[in-house]
Structure 1
């Protein structure tokens, strides 16, 4: 399968003045600034190859119920509310009204969610002030995913929960715990999965299982104050290099931030910085991976056909998950 030719991570950046390791300019075409980032790896050929993952004819939704996790207000995000409007239009008719923060449940970070904190710029050099304060540049808004036809690709489930149980690794799904590159690569080897350009890497850490079983009285991943610790991928330089050189279209999981908090060096946001403003790579967070894990176990296959239908919000920063996996 012919793919998109891009530089190796060690050869980035290619644009003068761009941050170290960034892909600014890599996907630009005909002097036009790219707005799709690593989704450019999902070519028509990659989609046609991904459809071959549909063999059993079974599908699962990767979205938590919208009210979960509980207590998003602990980190300054509004709580989900649902009004059930009976007798609408003076008829036996019902409408729904909901209020929700797109970061408070299963969701995908768009390219306006997180800027390079040192330079105050988004992917491909779009200024934070223009895009998010004055709103004069909405080119990286979540509507771009709809314009491109959503996200359709092959997904790979890296089931760390299954791996940890087999290896006798004990950890709290609320964190802290760092899932290493070595562990991810060992799981892929055990699952007999070879990555290919345009894949979406999905890492299950078990947080969605915890959230599904939780009550409002239980501890939640939404903790107040600055002492947040979370399970996730450990964003070491080696892992970041591997993600780019593997040509993944996106990375996702059931963890709160996708990346471990804190990282190996005590920092926060290394994966966000590399993926969102660096490469234009969407991050999926708080996905519900329990039904998918059961389906993968049933069929002994950890690759699947994956679709994301984003909320078409002009200039939006993120979208509710709206993600389906089909085997």
Structure 2
């Protein structure tokens, strides 16, 4: 199902006091937008989106229920990975500078957060407007981006370039904390004898996610932070320098991920996930070739609903801890960079058991 809408087609929502207050998926049609519920334009509440539902009460209950052994694992990949990023993104670089020779050093980073483990903030991806445009390529030739796209809450490209609306730094003020659940697709596929490359055009239907949840006895709760492991970080480390150099030049590259579908969107919305995370480069299958669902997951989840997307998280250590305890839920925490105006950020994330 493809839905192209106008900026003016905006139904303001009431702020939910509980997860029971959210409208149904069908009530969001045709725009698939949940705008205007959290706070006025430019407020921290608007910038938090669905993270507003990670209340102190929910966090306290999660800690009491999920933290049992104190074991913990970081979820951020090394900053220099991907060491050969695509999409014209720069490689990570660190330089050392003398502060007081010969006694002390500083270091200076040059990086694009999208090149490694990162959160996509709501300034990252827009939702296409209808107007007179057809194929995606036609949108990319307009003289004014505000004619073609709109960001969460009705934010314009000019507001992003010239202001701080939807800035990701709002997430750092309290951090992101709640119950995480892992759907370890990579381990499940291995058990099933399914072979694939995460750098092929390999799509995962939402029905398979439900099979993974059943296999590992994952029970979803409102407010969960959903993590899906495909095995990207592990596979990348097996690739040769020659392969990586070639990958960097591909236009477009191919990335395994979730197949775009209405069933996937219903799964995300109906379970009231407050964020979705993966070790995949783009979470969803790329490029999107589905003629029945031309709007990408990013357009709906980020721009439509205000649900953060985490990508390229290192979930291999988390997978091992989950197997060790035969438990796929845990306490999740993340404190993004406090960078005003940020589009994305390393997650600084960890899971605690």
Instruction: Give a deviation string over 1:187-225, Cα, whole Å, max 9, x none.
Output: 112221211111111100000111234443333795424
The partner residue of 1:234 within 259, 262, 267 is 259
The 3-state SS of whatever aligns with 2:249 is coil
1:35, distance to aligned residue in structure 2 (A): 2.5
Match of 1:124 in 2: 153
1:233, distance to aligned residue in structure 2 (A): 1.4
Q: What's the TM-score once normalised by structure 1's chain length?
A: 0.90
1:166-181 superposed matches below 5 A:
166-181=191-206
Please give the root-mean-square deviation of Cα atoms over the aligned residues, in Å. 2.2
Match of 1:61 in 2: 74
The 3-state SS of whatever aligns with 2:149 is coil
Contiguous gaps of at least 5 residues in structure 1: 14-18
CA contact (8 A) 1:233 1:258 kept: yes
- State the distance in 2 between where 1:268 and 1:56 align: 45
Match of 2:320 in 1: 294
Give yes or no for the alignment of 1:304 onto 2:353.
no
Match of 2:341 in 1: 315
The partner residue of 1:104 within 99, 112, 115 is 115
- State the distance in 2 between where 1:310 and 1:124 align: 21
- State the distance in 2 between where 1:162 and 1:273 align: 29
Q: Which aligned runs of 4 or more in structure 1 are off by greater than 6 angstroms?
A: none
1:226, distance to aligned residue in structure 2 (A): 2.7
CA contact (8 A) 1:41 1:197 kept: no
- State the distance in 2 between where 1:150 and 1:302 align: 22
- State the distance in 2 between where 1:237 and 1:8 align: 14
Deviates more, 1:123-132 or 1:309-318: 123-132
- State the distance in 2 between where 1:141 and 1:82 align: 25
**Counterparts in 2 of 1:113 and 1:54: CA distance versus 1, 3 Å:** same
Contiguous gaps of at least 5 residues in structure 2: 1-16, 130-147
1:22-101 superposed matches below 5 A:
22-28=33-39, 34-51=46-63, 52-72=65-85, 74-85=86-97, 87-101=98-112
The 3-state SS of whatever aligns with 1:124 is helix
CA contact (8 A) 1:257 1:285 kept: yes
**Counterparts in 2 of 1:29 and 1:70: CA distance versus 1, 3 Å:** closer
- State the distance in 1 between where 2:256 and 2:113 align: 21
